[in-house]
């Protein structure tokens, strides 16, 4: 440990605050809830000050459970699960659940304790690792080390922290606002692309030579032609003669319901995804699914998380399948569009390599050269949120193949599709660069915040004053006061007994 600044003391959190935790009144007793006393859960921690709670409990709940009322100015720290290390100052008298450690400051100011706790967030997270449910305990919190500054210097440190962090927070808010506007810009671009307004001027000098109905007729004719060629190839591979009437087994695609759909530009047509492409689910039916012998081979295995984080094209993935993995799956060609149907529904990416994927992903391949897979992928991005919102409400929201087959898509002539892609690609590339710059700035802001907090609690942020009362003197006085209070308590007890 580096040398402490003059007047500072190395102590623990139990030396500077009185710590306790809350409790959860029984949910089976209706008299315990809907009272007037704020009751906080760890998920509500995070803001610097808390002035309200999602739930309230009654006086009966405090009397009949381990819940405690903590005074305004206490600092609450999350000890359980994904919220470990989050902290807030209580701006009101409040109770908490048992997952919150609450410190009532003694040798520190409320704000000094709060900022110190958030400077230790990663340390608390690391201390909670190792179990099925990451937790830290009251014991860990109480014994956590803290470098204590003299009381007057604590005030100077907090003042400087709030000045610097306020400026930093304002910059971060501007960056996030720009990021949100960029997201809205992308969505407006996608909408303009698929409703025809993006290429409205282009169409004035590039008149379509056929109607939308004629375009769809050619797409469907090519769809059937490709299916028949594939079936004949199968018969030939198996050494069989095609049976009579085999063409009657052609899977006719779902037709679109256009009754409530808007009118499209000249030459465009409404179609379903199943009319313009072949859709099928991935496969991963082997049990156990994660058996080691399925992995580590030459075949790329795309997972839903890979698609969720991709941007149009998927170039590389970490997981690979072995021959055994391939035997229970299917190898899709480069150019396949992947669509997630579980978790983050409707996320898309186009394979730039051959790959397998699980049954939580649907593959799409165009049925005709009149349809660009990149145009379809951009369209799917424009309706992704709608697909997720309209998904059946189940324990885990998902959609099925039948829902995707009925998705209606506006299809322009192929030349206009290519023009749309050109305009979109240029605009999206520019937006991507801006987004990357914002992301870098946000990461720099996070690093700067850590550096500011580190400087604050190592004595480098605010000046020391030799006239300040040393922290050790403050601690001795508080200990003496505690001892005196304890002695008085014992005396009162004896008198009552006599």
Residue 133: CB atoms within 10 Å? 8
* 233 and 325 fall within a common domain: yes
- 265 within domain boundaries: yes
* 302 and 394 fall within a common domain: yes
Last residue of a domain, one of 412, 429, 458: 412
- 239 within domain boundaries: yes
* 142 and 236 fall within a common domain: no
374, 314 Cβ separation under 8 angstroms:
no
* 222 and 363 fall within a common domain: yes
Rounded Cα–Cα distance for residues 105 and 93 (Å): 14
* 118 and 218 fall within a common domain: no
pLDDT of residue 104: 97
Q: What CATH number is associated with residue 17? A: 3.90.220.20
pLDDT of residue 497: 37
What three-state secondary structure class fits 102? strand
Rounded Cα–Cα distance for residues 102 and 13 (Å): 11
- 486 within domain boundaries: no
89, 50 Cβ separation under 8 angstroms:
yes
* 141 and 274 fall within a common domain: no
Q: For residue 249, give both structure tokens.
A: 């087994």
- 374 within domain boundaries: yes
Last residue of a domain, one of 357, 377, 412: 412
- State the total domains in the chain: 2
Cβ-count burial 84-108 (b if 16+ within 10 Å, e if not):
bbbbbbbebebbbbbbbbbbbbbbb
Residue 145: C-alpha distances to residues 1, 59, 343 (Å): 11, 36, 41
Residue range(s) defining the domain that contains residue 62? 9-150
* 106 and 218 fall within a common domain: no
Q: Model pTM?
A: 0.77
Last residue of a domain, one of 360, 382, 412: 412
* 114 and 214 fall within a common domain: no
* 46 and 139 fall within a common domain: yes
Q: pLDDT tens, position by position, for the chain (498 residues)?
A: 568 999 999 999 999 999 999 999 999 999 999 899 999 999 999 999 999 999 999 999 999 999 999 999 999 999 998 999 999 999 999 999 999 999 999 999 999 999 999 999 999 999 998 766 789 999 999 999 999 999 999 999 999 999 999 999 999 999 999 999 999 999 999 999 999 999 999 999 999 889 999 999 999 999 999 999 999 999 999 999 999 999 999 999 999 999 999 999 999 999 999 999 999 999 876 556 678 888 899 999 999 999 988 888 999 899 999 998 898 889 999 999 999 998 789 999 999 999 999 999 999 999 999 999 999 999 999 999 999 888 876 667 789 999 999 999 999 999 999 999 999 999 999 999 999 999 999 999 999 999 999 999 999 999 999 999 999 999 999 888 878 877 665 444 343 332
pLDDT of residue 183: 92
pLDDT of residue 84: 95
């Amino acid at each position: 440990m580096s040398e402490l600044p003059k007047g500072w003391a190395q102590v623990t959190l139990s030396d500077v605050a009185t710590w306790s935790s809350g409790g959860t009144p029984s949910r089976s007793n209706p008299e315990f809830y809907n009272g007037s006393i704020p009751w906080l859960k760890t998920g509500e921690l995070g803001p610097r000050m808390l002035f309200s709670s999602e739930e309230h409990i009654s006086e009966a709940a405090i009397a009949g459970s381990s819940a405690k009322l903590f005074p305004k100015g206490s600092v609450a720290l999350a000890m359980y699960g994904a919220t470990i290390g989050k902290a807030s100052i209580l701006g009101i008298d409040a109770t908490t659940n048992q997952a919150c450690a609450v410190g009532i400051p003694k040798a520190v100011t409320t704000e000094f304790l709060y900022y110190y706790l958030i400077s230790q967030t990663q340390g608390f997270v690391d201390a909670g690792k190792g179990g099925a449910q990451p937790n830290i305990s009251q014991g860990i919190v109480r014994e956590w080390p803290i470098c204590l500054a003299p009381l007057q210097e604590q005030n100077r440190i907090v003042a400087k922290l709030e000045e610097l962090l306020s400026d930093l927070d304002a910059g971060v808010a501007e960056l996030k606002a720009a990021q949100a506007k960029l997201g809205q810009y992308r969505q407006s671009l996608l909408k303009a692309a698929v409703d025809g307004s993006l290429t409205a001027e282009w169409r004035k000098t590039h008149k379509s030579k056929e109607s939308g109905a004629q375009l769809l007729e050619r797409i469907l004719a090519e769809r059937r032609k490709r299916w028949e060629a594939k079936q004949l190839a199968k018969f030939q591979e198996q050494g069989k003669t095609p049976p009579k009437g085999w063409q009657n087994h052609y899977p006719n695609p779902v037709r679109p319901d256009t009754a409530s759909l808007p009118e499209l530009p000249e030459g465009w047509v409404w179609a379903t995804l199943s009319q313009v492409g072949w859709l099928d689910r991935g496969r991963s039916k082997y049990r156990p699914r994660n058996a080691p012998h399925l992995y580590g081979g030459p075949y790329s295995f795309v997972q839903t998380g890979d698609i969720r984080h991709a941007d149009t094209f998927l170039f590389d993935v970490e997981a690979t399948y072995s021959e055994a993995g391939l035997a229970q799956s299917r190898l899709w060609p480069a150019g396949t569009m992947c669509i997630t149907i579980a978790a983050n529904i409707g996320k898309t990416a186009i394979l730039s390599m051959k790959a397998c994927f699980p049954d939580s992903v649907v593959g799409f391949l165009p049925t005709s050269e009149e349809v660009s897979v990149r145009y379809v992928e951009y369209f799917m991005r424009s309706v992704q949120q709608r697909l997720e919102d309209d998904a059946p409400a189940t324990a885990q929201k998902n959609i099925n193949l039948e829902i995707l087959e009925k998705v209606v898509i506006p299809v322009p002539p192929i030349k206009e599709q290519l023009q749309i892609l050109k305009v979109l690609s240029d605009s999206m590339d520019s937006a991507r660069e801006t987004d990357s710059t914002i992301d870098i700035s946000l990461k720099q802001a996070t690093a700067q915040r850590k550096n500011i907090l580190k400087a604050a609690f190592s004595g480098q942020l605010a000046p020391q004053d030799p006239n300040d009362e040393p922290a050790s003197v403050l601690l001795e006085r508080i200990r003496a006061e505690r001892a005196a209070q304890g002695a008085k308590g014992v005396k009162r007890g004896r008198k009552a007994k006599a």
